Amino acid sequence: MHKKIEEIKKLEKPPKVLKNLYTKEEIKEFLELYKNLPTTVHNKKQNVIKKRWLQGYSEKLEKLFCERLKNEIGEFKMDNLKDENGKDIYGLIQESYNPIGLHVDAGFNFENLIYRQTLIPLTPVGSTVIFKNRFYGSSTSFTLDEKELEKKQLKYGQNKRSSDHINMYGKKPFDKDTHEKYLNHEKIENLAGLEIEFIYEWELGSMLIFDRTNIHCSSSKIDGKKIGLTTFTKR
């Protein structure tokens, strides 16, 4: 568990969407950046391509992103993974062909004062489900899949697998209609006790900001593929 839970809680706020933060031209530049970055992971099983936003590929976008985020959330430090030279990366761009499952991006260092995370859609179709439920452990993917739960030898930056969330928030069954509409890629039993706070419908030019303690996942809404930029901060 994080050691600064009370301080983390004092910083928590509801999710927020900033509309028209980026122009069409700037979104094109982010897509060009994505094209130029080397592939970090191509997980064929999950059908997802991940690329780290490495420093030096677009100083213009680095400055733009940091300035606009600082205007909204105040002072922050990056809490993304580091590259092979020990430099901070700015975030992770993911090209997904399947919805991303239930998880929390609470980091891996329990000494850190984790803060906000952001999501910038680079394609127009998709949505992200934010739950009211919060988790103060490490970055974790929540699952009932026995094969996934057996995975212990994780690579640098990989989420822990856990079913610890079951019964943590009560046993109230998840609403069947909501499950069918937004989350039919998840086992409904995996959502027991969870309550939706906000559903972010992707829109080019906008940015979602939410706390890193919020459990969340993709909705089942996808049109072939979607590309999004995620970044994580600490205080």
pLDDT in tens, 45-97: 667 899 999 999 999 999 999 999 999 999 999 998 778 888 888 999 999 99
User: Percent of the chain at pLDDT above 70?
Assistant: 97
b/e sequence 99-119, b meaning 16+ C-beta within 10 Å: bbbbbbbbbeeeebbbbbbbb
Which has more confidence, 154 or 183? 183
**Is the predicted pLDDT of residue 234 greater than 90, yes or no?**
yes
pLDDT at position 154 is 76
pLDDT at position 152 is 78
Q: What is the rounded average pLDDT for all residues in the chain?
A: 93
pLDDT (mean) for 168-195 = 95
The rounded distance, in Å, linking the Cα atoms of 70 and 173 is 39
Confidence of residue 156 (pLDDT cuts 50, 70, 90): low
pLDDT at position 46 is 65
User: In this predicted model, what pLDDT tens digit does every residue of 29-40 receive, in sequence order?
Assistant: 999 999 999 988
pLDDT at position 16 is 97
User: In this predicted model, what pLDDT tens digit does every residue of 99-148 receive, in sequence order?
Assistant: 999 999 999 999 999 999 999 999 999 999 999 999 999 999 999 988 88
Q: What fold is seen in the domain 5-234? A: Jelly Rolls (2.60.120)
What is the pTM (predicted TM-score) of this model? 0.92
- Written as six digits, the tokens of 19 are 């509309």
Report the run of H or E that residue 11 belongs to, with start and end: helix 5-11
Q: Strand (E) positions, the chain?
A: 16-18, 41-43, 48-52, 77-78, 92-96, 103-104, 114-121, 127-134, 140-142, 160-162, 196-201, 207-211, 214-218, 226-234
Report the run of H or E that residue 69 belongs to, with start and end: helix 59-73
| Sequence ranges of the domains in the chain | 5-234
For residue 193, give the DSSP letter: T
- β-pairing, 114-121 vs 226-234, is antiparallel
